[in-house]
């Protein structure tokens, strides 16, 4: 996931290196219920810092939100690695 939509913004003085990184990662980025991490945190009433960064409670909830998917990915990768060395 990602904090806000600015991660993919190319309007404001984005150099070639940043464009390459954005292009390489944009298909891998995922949303939380169709929201960025900041939007999701606000909509779930988690505290946000004065600099617009979700605080610890939001991070804990996000870890719970993503845990099943991460666990599946890790198990899939572990099985693929295990089978590759049989």
User: What's the distance, Cα to Cα, between the start and end of the chain in Å?
Assistant: 34
pLDDT in tens, the chain (86 residues): 899 988 888 888 788 999 999 999 999 899 999 999 999 999 999 999 999 999 999 999 999 999 998 888 888 776 776 676 66
Global pTM? 0.76
């Amino acid at each position: 996931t990602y904090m806000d939509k600015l991660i993919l913004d190319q309007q404001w003085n984005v150099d070639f290196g940043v464009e390459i990184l954005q292009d390489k990662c944009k298909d891998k980025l995922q949303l939380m219920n169709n929201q960025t991490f900041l939007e999701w945190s606000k909509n779930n009433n988690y505290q946000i810092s004065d600099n617009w960064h979700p605080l610890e409670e939001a991070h804990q909830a996000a870890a719970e939100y993503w845990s099943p998917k991460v666990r599946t990915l890790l198990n899939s990768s572990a099985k693929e690695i295990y089978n590759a060395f049989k």
